[in-house]
């Protein structure tokens, strides 16, 4: 039975370090290659040793796809291609290709130049890595090889962000990356056609959130800013740098300018920090949002947070309503959640299974989900039958409803080779074997030579060959001597043929059964 396998190397029941391995109809694709904001050690990159234990990565992976330029989706890419050693193609949209190296260089500078880390990718490695990138347009079908094709759809998350459809024959998977289903002042809403993939792999950052309208949020936001400024305070808004609004970055207060300002202003209760989006565990942003007011900073210094901490989601991720909306749009046969917290995923998983009657999976990192697919057989249904069935009262559930009628099959004649190819089957050969006893006291190889000379003389129009292993080939018919006979004076010949050569095979057997002509040695 055909199957699709999915293994998250990162972003399995977690936010950050997105990296998902998909095997579909014998093709292996890696989706995203991100870093984790919450870690500074080995855990910041996905564990690529999961991909293959033996052999080169490039031989195993057919391609890598990057959904957008955020570092939790592409931050490990130069490490993967230049240090782990992946040489194959990398696909991303044109804007992602333009912005990705800028963010990677920024990340390298902070890690190497500021924090003084060694054993990290270099500027040259970022350049070499980007040379392996193939840029794609939205809605352009890219043929990775004869069988594997990919297509990008607008994701509305940041500039250049795309959802990708991966297709082999009639099997397909859609990977959303990060997406947003509500348009804002910069970007439109994500869109995909009713492509009915076998599997939809969706982010689930805001699996349990339903956001109010954008207008209300903007009004609330301004009110909070005014209040703080009126009582003489300052307002810090850490933001997600590129492709969104510019205040101070980064958005999760884990390093850089926003963190510096936060340290300066945190002690004054008149000030306010407004967190505009999701913060990964381990970051300062996550700590203050979960109520921590005493933070241990570098050098064991304790920072007391007296300023007001507010949260207002201006995030570019789909909320629960948006995720359900995308599922309704694409009509997948099953759903797999990544890029979210386990508890929240569990809630959304139940909601999806109830509403859409499809299986929903949420594997942890390193855990493989296998789903079996049933190949599609498209059938044209007559309008008359459809009308009659719906009049009986059958109502479609999730576009499925039982229908009975008579299937009329039309036949097509193709070559056996083509039929095997279309059905994905290997060829088995059935051979028929006959035993022929030859009265000959001489040594085996001498007897075979006699048989060869005899056949060569009789079958002038056929190709008769004496092979180096001692056997004889007449066209495709094989004649071999066996030493099985107990009687020294009798030798046994095995004559074997496939069903296509039945006629020649039987003729040869009867010819040999008549015995060999007497010759002088």
158 or 472: CB nearest Zn ion: 158
SS3 33: coil
Provide, rounded to whole angstroms, the least separation between the CB of residue 190 and Zn ion.
12
DSSP string across 302-369:
EEE--SEEEE----SS-BHHHHHHHHHHH--SEEEEESS-HHHHHHHHHHHHHHH--EEE-PPTTPPE
Q: What gap in Å lies between CA 297 and CA 423, rounded to an integer? A: 62
Provide, rounded to whole angstroms, the least separation between the CB of residue 243 and Zn ion.
9
Task: Select the span of 66-74, 76-84, 244-252, 329-337 touching Zn ion (CB under 5 A).
Answer: 66-74
178 or 310: CB nearest Zn ion: 178
Q: Should residue 344 be labelled a site residue for Zn ion when binding is judged by CB under 5 A?
A: no
70 or 167: CB nearest Zn ion: 70
178 or 198: CB nearest Zn ion: 178
The residue annotated as part of the active site, out of 147, 203, 417, 486, is 203
Q: What gap in Å lies between CA 521 and CA 517, rounded to an integer? A: 12
Question: Which positions from 204 to 243 touch Zn ion by CB under 5 A, shown as an x/- string?
Answer: ----------------------------------------
Provide, rounded to whole angstroms, the least separation between the CB of residue 393 and Zn ion.
47
23 or 315: CB nearest Zn ion: 315
Provide, rounded to whole angstroms, the least separation between the CB of residue 300 and Zn ion.
33
Task: Select the span of 171-179, 210-218, 257-265, 332-340 touching Zn ion (CB under 5 A).
Answer: 171-179
179 or 265: CB nearest Zn ion: 179
Q: For Zn ion, how many residues bind (rule: CB under 5 A)?
A: 2
Identify whether 475 is a catalytic site residue. Answer: no
DSSP string across 102-153:
HHHHHHHIIIIIIT---SS--HHHHHHHHHTEEEE-BT-EEESSSSEEEEEE
Residue 33 has a CB neighbour count (10 Å cut-off) of 30
Question: Environment class of residue 263 by beta-carbon count within 10 Å: exposed (0-12), middle (13-18) or buried (19+)?
Answer: middle
Q: What are the start-end ranges of the H helices in 158-315? A: 214-230, 256-265, 284-289
Task: Select the span of 30-38, 178-186, 196-204, 402-410 touching Zn ion (CB under 5 A).
Answer: 178-186
Provide, rounded to whole angstroms, the least separation between the CB of residue 316 and Zn ion.
7
Task: Select the span of 103-111, 170-178, 353-361, 473-481 touching Zn ion (CB under 5 A).
Answer: 170-178
Give the pair of three-digit tokens for residue 317. 């991720």
72 or 501: CB nearest Zn ion: 72
Contact 497, 504 (CB under 8 A): yes
Taking the CA atoms of residue 271, residue 275, residue 280 and residue 281 in that order, the dihedral angle to the nearest 10 degrees is: 40
Contact 176, 203 (CB under 8 A): yes
Task: Select the span of 20-28, 51-59, 177-185, 242-250 touching Zn ion (CB under 5 A).
Answer: 177-185
Question: Which positions from 25 to 64 touch Zn ion by CB under 5 A, shown as an x/- string?
Answer: ----------------------------------------
Give the pair of three-digit tokens for residue 64. 């890598």
Q: Should residue 70 be labelled a site residue for Zn ion when binding is judged by CB under 5 A?
A: yes
Nearest to 31 by CA among 76, 66, 57, 80: 66
Provide, rounded to whole angstroms, the least separation between the CB of residue 371 and Zn ion.
26
Contact 60, 28 (CB under 8 A): yes
Provide, rounded to whole angstroms, the least separation between the CB of residue 73 and Zn ion.
6
Contact 376, 6 (CB under 8 A): no
Q: Should residue 178 be labelled a site residue for Zn ion when binding is judged by CB under 5 A?
A: yes
β-pairing, 133-136 vs 27-31, is unpaired
Q: What gap in Å lies between CA 158 and CA 308, rounded to an integer? A: 29
What is the contact surface with Zn ion in residues (CB under 5 A)? 70, 178
The residues annotated as belonging to the active site are: 203
């Amino acid at each position: 039975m055909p199957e699709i396998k999915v293994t998250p190397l990162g972003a399995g029941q977690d936010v950050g370090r997105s990296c998902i391995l998909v095997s579909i109809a014998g093709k292996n694709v890696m989706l995203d290659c991100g870093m984790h904001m919450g870690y500074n050690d080995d855990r910041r990159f996905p564990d690529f040793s999961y991909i293959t234990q033996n052999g080169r990565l490039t031989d195993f992976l057919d391609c890598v796809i990057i959904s957008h330029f955020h570092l939790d989706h592409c931050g490990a890419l130069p490490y993967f291609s230049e240090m782990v050693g992946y040489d194959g193609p990398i696909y991303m949209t044109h804007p992602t290709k333009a912005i990705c190296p800028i963010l990677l260089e920024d990340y390298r500078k902070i890690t190497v130049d500021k924090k003084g880390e060694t054993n990290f990718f270099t500027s040259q490695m970022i350049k070499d890595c980007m040379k392996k990138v193939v840029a794609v347009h939205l809605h352009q079908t890219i043929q990775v090889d004869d069988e594997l094709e990919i297509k990008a759809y607008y994701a509305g998350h940041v500039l250049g962000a795309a959802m990708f459809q991966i297709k082999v024959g009639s099997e397909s998977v859609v990977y959303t990356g990060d997406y947003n289903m509500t348009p804002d002042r910069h970007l439109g809403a994500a869109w995909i056609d009713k492509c009915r993939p076998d599997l939809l792999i969706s982010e689930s950052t805001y699996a349990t959130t339903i956001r109010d309208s954008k207008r209300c949020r903007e009004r609330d936001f301004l009110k909070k800013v005014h209040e703080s400024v009126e009582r003489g305070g300052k307002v810090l808004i850490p933001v997600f740098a590129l492709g969104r609004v510019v205040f101070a970055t980064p958005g999760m207060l884990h390093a850089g300018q926003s963190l510096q300002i936060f340290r300066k202003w945190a002690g004054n209760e008149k000030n306010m920090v407004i967190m505009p989006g999701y913060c990964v565990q381990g970051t300062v942003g996550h700590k203050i949002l979960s109520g921590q007011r005493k933070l241990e900073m570098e050098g064991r210094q304790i920072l007391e947070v007296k300023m007001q901490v507010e949260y207002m989601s201006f995030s570019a991720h789909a909320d629960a309503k948006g995720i359900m909306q995308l599922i309704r749009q694409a009509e997948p046969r099953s759903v797999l959640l990544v890029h979210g917290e386990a508890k929240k995923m569990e809630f959304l998983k139940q909601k999806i299974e109830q509403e859409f009657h499809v299986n929903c999976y949420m594997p942890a990192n390193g855990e493989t989900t296998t789903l079996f697919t049933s190949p599609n057989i498209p059938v044209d249904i007559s309008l008359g039958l459809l009308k009659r069935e719906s009049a009986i009262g059958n109502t479609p559930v999730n576009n499925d409803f039982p229908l009975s009628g008579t299937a009329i099959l039309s036949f097509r004649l193709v070559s056996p080779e083509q039929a095997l190819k279309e059905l994905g089957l290997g060829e088995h050969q059935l051979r028929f074997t006959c035993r022929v006893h030859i009265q000959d006291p001489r040594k085996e190889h001498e007897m075979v030579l006699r048989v060869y000379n005899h056949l060569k003389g009789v079958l002038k129009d056929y190709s008769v060959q004496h092979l180096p292993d001692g056997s004889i080939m007449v066209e495709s018919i094989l004649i071999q001597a066996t030493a099985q006979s107990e009687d020294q004076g009798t030798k046994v010949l095995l004559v074997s043929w496939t069903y296509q050569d039945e006629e020649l095979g039987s003729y040869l057997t009867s010819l040999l059964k008549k015995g060999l002509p007497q010759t002088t040695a």
